[in-house]
Amino acid sequence: MSLTDTGAPAQAAENPPPGPGRRRGLTERLLAVRELSLLLALGALILVTTLRNDRFLSGQSIKDLLLGCAILVILAVGQTLVIVTRNVDLSVGSILGLVAFATGELFLAAPGTPWPVALLLGVALGAVCGVVNGGLIAVAKVPALVITLGTLYAFRGIDYYWAAGRQINAADMPRSFLRLGNQTVLGVPALFLVALIVVAAVGFYLRSYRSGRELYAIGSEPAAARLSGIPVGRRVFAVFVANGALAGLAGVLYAARFGTLDAAAGTGLELQVVAAAVVGGVAIFGGSAYGAALGAVLLTTIGSSLAVLRIDPFWQQAVVGALILAAIGLDRLLALRMAARLRGRSAHGA
């Protein structure tokens, strides 16, 4: 009787041992559950607020909501690239403020500068700040939390020294640039469309490119990733540069949207960015750009809903804190579930 007749190989084919592909598939399904839970929470919040005030879903209200979350979405997606490597960047708010003021100064010094040029220069300046962060982390071998806490104050100090108490007004900037901050395409704010492009690009990169998948391996176990041949140092350096570039992009868009700029622009924004990423599920599983974007939209909607419901703004911070704790609890539950499923499949395969 041939080996095929025994049925053993057939059984093995039907139940192949769990490998990286299966683990990745299970993780992605659990992440999809996480993102679905965010959508359900967002839908419930919008429903409750609309029942209280039906104008919450008016055209202008939706436009304001999308405008309000666009910049936070871009920053949260950039932060995702950093967090999946088991790091964090606390300097994004300061980078945004520095780039925003630099954009205003550019238009003061050269009023005829086309806004695409200003956009590219802002992204480049943000990338330079990312190079500083990534270089210090690579050279000093100090945790990113410590380095970026230092650069948070350093970049903000440069901004304050440069501004010297001055304020740049919307009248000092070209109208074509300011229109970018309020222009709509088929009723959708242009800033939000830019944010969607960033989310799609980063999400596609993390899912489809080998270097993107390697970021998850680094976050899972840096030592093992290094032993498997992944250039951990270069990858971590690159994500800090990319995160800085996205913060620079957000800084230019911030200048276009608000018009009035000073050295305090973006102060405290880094905490909202990290909160959006954590609520979006980036903390434990590595998460995705889509989850971080949903987290940013949810946090922005919470702020708008509390105002409509006439609830003290103090409670917004309490609600965000509760969401972070709930997110960590849900991540832990999903992690235990995934581990149990993998153990069950391993036993079945054996």
pLDDT digits (tens, 9 = 90+) for 225-274: 888 888 888 999 999 999 999 999 999 999 999 988 988 998 989 988 98
Strand partners, 261: 168
> pLDDT at residue 30 above 60?
no
> pLDDT at residue 78 above 90?
yes
> pLDDT at residue 205 above 70?
yes
* Domains of the chain and any CATH numbers: 34-44+58-330 (1.10.3470)
> pLDDT at residue 131 above 60?
yes
Distance of CA 60 to the CA centre of its chain: 26
The stretch 96-106 carries a mean pLDDT of: 94
DSSP code of residue 165: T
Cα separation values, 215 from 106, 129, 224, 338, Å: 36, 21, 12, 20
CB of 106 closer than 8 Å to CB of 209? no
pLDDT at 5: 42
pLDDT at 25: 53
Distance of CA 96 to the CA centre of its chain: 14
Distance of CA 251 to the CA centre of its chain: 15
> pLDDT at residue 119 above 80?
yes
The stretch 195-201 carries a mean pLDDT of: 95
pLDDT category at 142 given cuts 50, 70, 90 is: confident
Does pTM surpass 0.75? yes
The stretch 198-211 carries a mean pLDDT of: 92
> pLDDT at residue 323 above 70?
yes
> pLDDT at residue 148 above 90?
yes
pLDDT at 165: 86
Instruction: Return the closest-CA partner of residue 326 out of 274, 285, 280, 294.
Output: 280
Inter-axis angle of helices 232-258 and 175-182, nearest 10: 110
Q: What does the CA dihedral 274, 293, 67, 249 come to, rounded to 10 degrees?
A: 70
pLDDT at 7: 42
The stretch 159-163 carries a mean pLDDT of: 92
pLDDT in tens, 276-306: 888 877 765 567 888 889 889 988 888 888 8
* Structure-model confidence comparison of residues 311 and 76, the more confident one: 76
Give percent above pLDDT 90 in the chain: 35
Cβ neighbours, 10 Å, residue 168? 21
> pLDDT at residue 87 above 50?
yes
User: Distance between CA 249 and CA 9 in Å, rounded?
Assistant: 55
What is the SS3 assignment for 235?
helix
